[in-house]
Amino acid sequence: MTPNDPTFQPAAQTDEELLNAHEALLAKQPDDRAHYKLMPLALLFFFSGLILFAATYLNRYSGHFDKTIYDENALPTDHNVEVKIDPVVFGKQLFASSGACVTCHQASGQGVPGTYPPLAGSEWVNGPDERVISIVLYGLQGTVHVTSKSFNAAVMPSFGPSGFNWSDEKIADVLTYVRQEWGNKASAVTADQVAAVRAKDGAHTAWTEPDLLQIK
């Protein structure tokens, strides 16, 4: 094919003109490949912070999704927890309370010579649990001997139902204190032990020394 061929149609533009046209078009398009939009980054940080807050909130206040916490059918309960006072501490308070043990046996546990027997070093205090429980629960009348000495206080009042009406826990605690104070080394007394003596002896009257000595 030659330039004189009637079927030959020369190109409208030369190669150089086409390249220049392409470059002109490309120059009008901004190159954003090295830049980031501010809005997507802001949204990313916002939702990340929201997720972190939600996770922290659930971890702290969800109660580990315990069914008893989220049970809408559960009845109200009293969540107050009773703190148990040390028996020796509470027993000491009972011992020193108005009209109680300290009135006769004194804060020193030495009693009053000839009248009120001492508790310090007493064979009754350090003796069998049931015997000393019986004394406090029902009282004692008549003469009693402690460390070979005679004491006649006429009557020791009952701290059970016919007297001060102390609970099993109170009697147990005051005896635990007395049996561990002033050099005494006897074992503690429990409320269950007091309850057992109360159930066994029922409405017993005040004990006497001879009857108490039968308790081993």
Same domain, 48 and 124: no
Same domain, 165 and 184: yes
Tell me the two tokens of residue 196.
Answer: 């057992």
Whether the CB-CB separation of 181 and 109 falls below 8 Å is answered with yes
Flag whether 161 is in a domain.
Answer: yes
> Looking at the predicted structure, is the pLDDT value of residue 77 above 60?
yes
Same domain, 109 and 198: yes
Flag whether 21 is in a domain.
Answer: no
- Residue ending a domain, choose from 26, 51, 76: 76
> Looking at the predicted structure, is the pLDDT value of residue 45 above 90?
no
Flag whether 6 is in a domain.
Answer: no
> Looking at the predicted structure, is the pLDDT value of residue 75 above 60?
yes
Residue 129 burial (CB count, 10 A) = 19
For residue 7, name the pLDDT band (cuts at 50, 70, 90).
low
Instruction: Please state the domain count of the chain.
Output: 2
Name the average pLDDT for the chain. Answer: 84
Using CA atoms, how far apart are residues 6 and 175, in angstroms rounded to an integer? 135
Using CA atoms, how far apart are residues 139 and 207, in angstroms rounded to an integer? 6
pLDDT in tens, 102-116: 999 999 999 999 999
pLDDT at 76: 63
**CATH number of the domain to which 142 belongs:** 1.10.760.10
Q: Does residue 4 or residue 42 have the better pLDDT?
A: 42
For residue 81, name the pLDDT band (cuts at 50, 70, 90).
low
Whether the CB-CB separation of 156 and 112 falls below 8 Å is answered with no
Using CA atoms, how far apart are residues 28 and 115, in angstroms rounded to an integer? 120
pLDDT in tens, 160-209: 988 899 999 999 999 999 999 999 999 999 999 999 999 999 999 999 99
Same domain, 66 and 98: no
Structural domain including 48 reads 37-76
Same domain, 58 and 150: no
Flag whether 3 is in a domain.
Answer: no
Flag whether 207 is in a domain.
Answer: yes
How large is the angle between the packed helices 129-138 and 191-201, nearest 10 degrees? 70
Question: Mean pLDDT across the stretch 31-48?
Answer: 70
| Measured CA distances, 144 to 102, 116, 135, 211, 212 (Å) | 18, 9, 12, 11, 10
